[in-house]
Amino acid sequence: MNKSLSIVGFGKNRDSADFYPTPPQTTEALFKREKFDGLVWECACGDGAMAKIIKKYNSCMASDIRTDCWVYAEGGIDFLTNYKEVPNIITNPPYKYALEFAQTALLCAEKKVALLLKLVFLEGISRYNFFRDSPLKTVYVFCRRQPIWIRGEVGKNSGLIAYAWFVWDKSYRGQPCIDWIND
pLDDT tens sequence across 116-147? 999 999 999 989 999 999 999 999 999 999 88
Neighbours of 115 (CB within 10 A): 20
Residue 162, CA distances (Å) to 27, 86, 126 in order: 15, 29, 21
Which CATH number is associated with domain 3-181?
Answer: 3.40.50.150
Burial label for 99, CB within 10 Å (0-12, 13-18, 19+), is middle
Mean pLDDT to the nearest integer, 157-170: 87
**Digit-coded pLDDT (tens) for 60-81:** 999 999 887 777 788 889 999 9
| Distance, CA of 87 to CA of 18 (rounded, Å) | 26
Measured between its terminal Cα atoms, the distance across the chain in Å is 25
Beta bridge partners of 164: 117, 141
pLDDT surpasses 80 at 158: no
Residue 7 has pLDDT above 80, yes or no: no
pLDDT of residue 16 exceeding 70, the answer is no
Residue ranges covered by each domain of the chain:
3-181
